[in-house]
Structures are given as C-alpha cells and as structure tokens.
Structure 1
Amino acid sequence: MSFFKRYLKEFMLAFGSLLFLSPIYIMFVNSFKDRSQLYENVLALPETLTFEHYIRAMDRMNFGLAFFNSMVITVISVFFIVILSSMTAWMLVRKDNVWSRIIFMTLIATMLIPFQTIMMPLLQLMDQIMQTTGIPMLNTRGGLIFMHIGFNASLAVFLYHGFIKSIPISLEESAEIDGANKLTVFWKIIFPILKPITVTVIILNVIQIWNDYLLPSLVLTDKDLRTIPLATFYFFGEFTIQWNQAMAGLVLTIIPVVIFYVFAQKHIIRGIGEGAVK
C-alpha cells in the first residue's frame, strides 16, 4: 500500500507540474507557427523552426527601448524599496512606542486597500502635485518609480519588521559602546544580517514591478516610455489578434524574469531557509 501511495504522489506531482507548465508550452510552440498551423492544432509542434515572428515582435514592440524602460524602472524602484523599507522597519522595531506601532499598523492597513479603488484619486493627486510643484509625476519614469516605491514599501516593511525583531539588540548596544553611530550600526551590523529577507524582498518586487501592467498603463502615455508589458499589449487589437507575434512577444517578456530566477535560485533557497530559522 505504501508503494502505491508513493507512486500515486509522484504521478500527481508530475501531472500538476505538466498542468502548470502547459500555458508556457502552448505560448512557446505557437510563437513559431504561421497562422494556418496555429489554428489547426495549438498543441502540436511547429512544422518549421523560424524566428521570423520573434524578429517582427521585437520590431513592433521596439523591444530594446521597452526593455530599457522596464529595467530602469524595476532596478531603481527595488533599490529604494530595499533601502528605505529596511531602515524604516529597523527604526519602528527599535523605537517601540505608541507612535511607532501606529505607523506600523497604518502601513499594514494600506496593504488591504485594492489598487483599483484608489487609482483615479492617485492620478488626480499626482496631477495636483505636478501643477503645484512643477515636478513631472505623470508620463515620466521618475513618477512611475515614485509610485512603485510607495505601493510596495508596506509589504517590504512588514517583512523586514518581523525579521528585525529576532535580531538581539545587544549587538547594536555593543557597537554603540565602541563609538559607532546609528548609521554605522545599521549598515555595518544590521543590514548584512538582513540578507536572507532582503533577497526575498528583491525577488517579490522584481517580479511584481516587471510584470505590472495596470499602473504603467495609467501613468505612461508616451510611446517611448512603454514598459515590456505595455508594449506586448498592443499585439491585441480591437478586431484582429496576431497570435503568433503575440506569443513571441510574451516569450520575450518572461525570458528576463526566468534568467533572473535561474541566477537567484541559490539565494532564494538559502533565504527561505535562513528566514525560517530566524
């Protein structure tokens, strides 16, 4: 009976893996097909291997510029999310008073608000800031980065907050006795200890910001500022859809995330393990 259960579990695992990978398979094989092959059988392998649709998709997407926009927005947003959120969480943990608890609970409460309910007031607020200060907040990479930092900081603070609570305060007190100031204590002692949770924060935010479509679609109107998800959307016309080029564009969209995951896989596993121990 145990033999049967073991193979049943393996079969269910293999079936579940195939089920989850099937959309990627369909997207990949259909990116090489012409229109007639695509409508005959979406599951069949392509009769010929050609990169014609990829070339057309890259040209239509202006892939180089879209990739540059996505990379700049993602890297800068994640950088500031990590720096600001880790420092905020550290201060909220160490300044354990009524105000710090109120601030922390306010940040947590913002995670429960659906973005769809605030997207229009957000645009109105950004427009008012732009008119009042002259700082361009809409249709700019900087404005989109600013909003990404604001929307993703609460989750990062929550993750850092729980991790920092497990770090003994005696480490900081010893450093301060030796003459270290607050910044030195944080950057030389605390921040290196935060590496496991920092990796987790980076991974979550890279995937979320890179794949985000809704916020960039509201903020960016200039064609030269489109991110990769925005550029991919324009394959889906109102009356016709070029499925082979759209599939090729979607494959190009996920390749950078897959490469990032492959290189970060070791750190992901280590981060989960060390975070669990903490």
Structure 2
Amino acid sequence: MRQKTNWVVTILLIIGSITILFPLYITIVNAFKTPQETAKSILALPQNFSFDNFTRAIEMTNFYQAFGNSFYITLFTVILTVLTNAMVAYAIARNMHRRAYRFLFYYLVSAMFIPFPIIMLPIVKQMSSLGLTNPTGLIILYVVYGLSFNVFLYVGYIKAIPKELEEAAIVDGCSRWGVFWRIIFPLLTPMNATVGILTTLWAWNDFLLPLVLLSERSHQTLPLVQYVFQSQFSVNYNLAFASYILALLPMILVYLFLQKWIISGVMKGAIK
C-alpha cells in the first residue's frame, strides 16, 4: 500500500535544509571572491575561482600553529574522556542499587542543565590560581564538563551488558580491574566511538572556553584565531570565510564519515 506524503514534515525539512545550506553556500562562494566581487553581490558565483584568500588566511592566522594547538587539545581530550568517563560510568552502572551511586548518577546528569556562563568566572579564577590557563587546563575542563552527558550514555549502554560475563571472568580468577579492561571495555567499542566523535566535534569547534581560559596567543585554537579578520570598524569577510572553511573542513569530514556511529551510539545509550 502506498503511503501518503506528510507534507508538513516535508516542508519543515526543506526549510531546515535551506536554513543550514544557505549560509554554507554564502561562505564557500565568497571565500573564492575578491572584496569587489562580494560588494557587488554576495550570492553570485565568483568570476575566477582563486585560492589567494586561503593563502592569506593561513598567514594571518598562523594557521599551522593554531591547527596544532587544536589537534593536541582535541586528541588528548578524547583519549582521557573515553578512558576516565567509561570507568566512572561502569562503577555507577554496576552499583545503581546503592543510594550513594544513584545519587551520584542523578547529580552528574543534573549538571547538564547548568549553563556554562553561570560558572564561567569562578572556573577561570580557580584555574588561574592553579596556573592552568593553558592547553593542559583546557583539556582537564573538557574531560570534566563532558562527564555528565557521557556518563548518561555509558550507563544506559552498560546496563544492557549481562553481569554473567563479569561473574564468569571473576570465577576464572580475573580481578575487577581486569574484568573492566578485558571484558567490558572492548564491549563498549560502539559507545566509545560515539563519545569520542562527539567529544572531538565539541573540543575542536568550541570557542567560549578557550576564549576565557587561554592567556597566551601561542596557545590559541583555530576558532579563536578568527578574531584576526575583525578590526574596529570592518571585517574582511572574504579572508574570514576562507579561514572558516579551513577550520571546519576536518570536522565536516569526520562527521560525514562517522555520523552512523554518532546516531546509533546515542540511540543505544538512551534506549537501553
């Protein structure tokens, strides 16, 4: 039987797609234009596609240093997040019958509803007093701030893993630590991938936390160096758009190739 088309949903999807694709089109098209061509029309295609804007953007932003900073911060954030958050979630998931662990779970989940600007200044002051206004401090904050959402995903997934697997391993002489690393952690591969990808997208694209925490220019990440195109009275949009594309391209590729892990992992963690 032929299904009827839901025109309301279809129209909403079309509007949503246009809302997303239209700014992306403007960014890409104007990244290859001269300021004169942009002044005439921001919608028209460039007369001659030129990569001069990209070359100048790389020079003005010190792109390779900023790229290295973003890569370093993102890499270690993902590694530490997956390792530590998985252990915390395992401890909570296997002890939810205890009041303390149940309280800890709901306490962590409730932290997702606290806006960062509310605690921004106290956090910056505390990190400054500890001498951690650098990439290392930023990595620590990313790992801690990601704990709430990641524990929520991990706990739902771990609950679906039969406890009999752990009991059998313990009978065979495996320690609790060994059970986690040899049995549980390999079974968490789909969720580890999901958490890793989401953390990568967040740490790479984040602007506010590096802005308020990093004190030295040599530590700036790719989102921060976009300020170089903005003067007191104007913005060089052509160079800015070119730089935006350079900064976003790695994460766009990551999402396009790994989006199935993100969607499936979130669904499994929420439903199970």
TM norm structure 2: 0.91
Which residue of 1 is the match for residue 24 of structure 2? 24
1:34-93: CA deviations, max 9, x gaps?
A: 111112111110011110000000111111010000011011011111111111010111
Aligned partner (choices 246, 250, 260) of residue 252 of structure 1: 246
Which residue of 2 is the match for residue 83 of structure 1? 83
The 5-angstrom pairing of residues 150-161 of structure 1 reads 150-161=144-155
Residue 208 (structure 1) shift: 1.1
Aligned-residue RMSD, C-alpha? 2.2
Which residue of 2 is the match for residue 110 of structure 1? 111
Aligned partner (choices 230, 234, 237) of residue 240 of structure 1: 234
Which residue of 1 is the match for residue 200 of structure 2? 206
Q: Aligned equivalents of 1:270 and 1:23: distance in 2?
A: 28
Q: Aligned equivalents of 1:268 and 1:219: distance in 2?
A: 29
Residue 188 (structure 1) shift: 1.5
Q: Is the 8 A contact 2:73 2:139 kept in 1?
A: yes
Identity of aligned residues (%): 37
Secondary structure of the corresponding residue to residue 111 of structure 1: helix
Q: Is the 8 A contact 2:222 2:247 kept in 1?
A: yes
- Cα distance change, pair 16–202 in 1 and its aligned pair in 2 (3 A): same
Aligned partner (choices 152, 161, 183) of residue 189 of structure 1: 183
- Cα distance change, pair 158–275 in 1 and its aligned pair in 2 (3 A): closer
- Cα distance change, pair 3–98 in 1 and its aligned pair in 2 (3 A): closer
TM norm structure 1: 0.89
Q: Is the 8 A contact 2:156 2:269 kept in 1?
A: no
Count of equivalent residues? 270
1:165-221: CA deviations, max 9, x gaps?
A: 111111100111111111221112111221222222112211111111111011112
Residue 22 (structure 1) shift: 1.1
Q: Is the 8 A contact 2:156 2:270 kept in 1?
A: no
Q: Is the 8 A contact 1:197 1:275 kept in 2?
A: yes
1:129-167: CA deviations, max 9, x gaps?
A: x2xxxxx311x1111111111111111111101111111
Amino acid at match of 1:17: S
Residue 275 (structure 1) shift: 5.3
Segments of 5+ residues of structure 1 without an aligned counterpart are 131-135
Residue 271 (structure 1) shift: 3.7
Which residue of 2 is the match for residue 166 of structure 1? 160
Q: Aligned equivalents of 1:199 and 1:226: distance in 2?
A: 27
Secondary structure of the corresponding residue to residue 231 of structure 2: coil
Q: Aligned equivalents of 1:95 and 1:50: distance in 2?
A: 60
Secondary structure of the corresponding residue to residue 234 of structure 1: helix
Segments of 5+ residues of structure 2 without an aligned counterpart are none
Which residue of 2 is the match for residue 137 of structure 1? 132
